[in-house]
Homo-oligomer: A and B are copies of this chain.
Amino acid sequence: MKEFELINRYFKGRGITRRDVDLGIGDDCALVSVPENSQLAITTDTLVCGVHFFEDIPPRALGHRVLAVNLSDLAAMGAEPTWVSLALTLPSVDLEWLEAFTEGLHEIAEYYNVQVIGGDTTQGPLTITVCAKGIIPKGKALTRSGAKVGDWIFVTGPLGDAGLAIEARKQGLNITPENKQDVEKRFYFPTPRVAAGQVLRGLATSAIDVSDGLVADLGHILRKSNVNATVQVEKVPVSEAMKATLSEQERWPYVLSYGDDYELLFTVSDTNKSTLANKLKQYGVEAKCVGQILAGNGQLELTLRGQKFALPARGYEHFSNE
């Protein structure tokens, strides 16, 4: 199958059609219109086979995941996702694989009202890069740099499940089939917190998505905002599957530093704390307060039931062995 046929078959005329897309797939560029008084948010994430996913990942999950991780970055800015470009490098053309992959991709794209406006299909080792765009009312974006002393630190949902899914497979942990299914679903089909991100606008002081683990990602906020923080680790929400599978002591590396969960971590002033938590509840999001911002220059202190708590592990970083 030739590149043009492949694009026509799996991408052109499929998925949703947004009114702000003036020209979609099929020319040298796509053309879109950005509404007045808006800013455009742009993010790019690559998934490499064998690095970011196992070779035998269900292709439908991969299609979902590659979009989800990008939409999660838009969510962390409070942006409304609009358009994505897809660069798909494939070792060969496997029609069944492509059908499932694009089904997963179009499914999540439709759910979030996102249009695939173009891309590039090339031959080579399986690698997928998405460049996602979204819009935000001017000046309303949530950055990593706005946390203030006294702000409370929240997380939108349980952490550690994606790591548990990966390690259950790698190490063969003692996990029930039901719990394995639960955490695998969170790893394969992560939910970008798109609505929550938009609710945070004007209320949260900073936000980030938890892709590298709570400790690493909160660290970005602390350094960018030039503040310290204290986190009571026992307050970090965990799933029933996590509780049933690992002892409290075993859990910490997953909960605090594994990443891949794609929950939002945000800070909010004492004044707006309850308003925001209630608004999120209306969207079905049970955000939990896990700590507070303190004066300082980027340091994070962890406590466990009032005692200092030390965790050596860090967020996942590419090339960190070199």
Contacts and interface: CB of A to CB of B under 8 A. Distances in A.
Contact of A42 (B36, B52, B85): B85
Interface stretch (A20-28, A155-163, A179-187): A20-28
A41 B29 contact: yes
Contacts of A134: 29
Contact of A319 (B1, B45, B317): B1
Interface stretch (A2-10, A167-175, A279-287, A288-296): A2-10
B317 A2 contact: yes
Nearest to A124: B48
Contacts of A124: 48-51, 125, 127
Contacts of A122: 46, 48, 51-52, 318
B92 A4 contact: no
A224 interface: yes
Interface in A143-199: 143-145
B125 A44 contact: no
A303 interface: no
Interface residues of A, number: 72
Residue with the greatest number of chain B CB neighbours at <10 A, chosen from A42, A117, A119:
A42
A318 B125 contact: no
B322 A23 contact: no
Given A131-B131, A134-B29, A322-B1, A83 B317 contact: no
Residue with the greatest number of chain B CB neighbours at <10 A, chosen from A2, A29, A123:
A29
A320 interface: yes
A68 interface: no
16 contacts: A28-B74, A28-B208, A29-B43, A29-B141, A31-B42, A31-B136, A42-B85, A44-B85, A44-B131, A46-B129, A48-B122, A48-B124, A85-B131, A90-B319, A125-B125, A131-B131
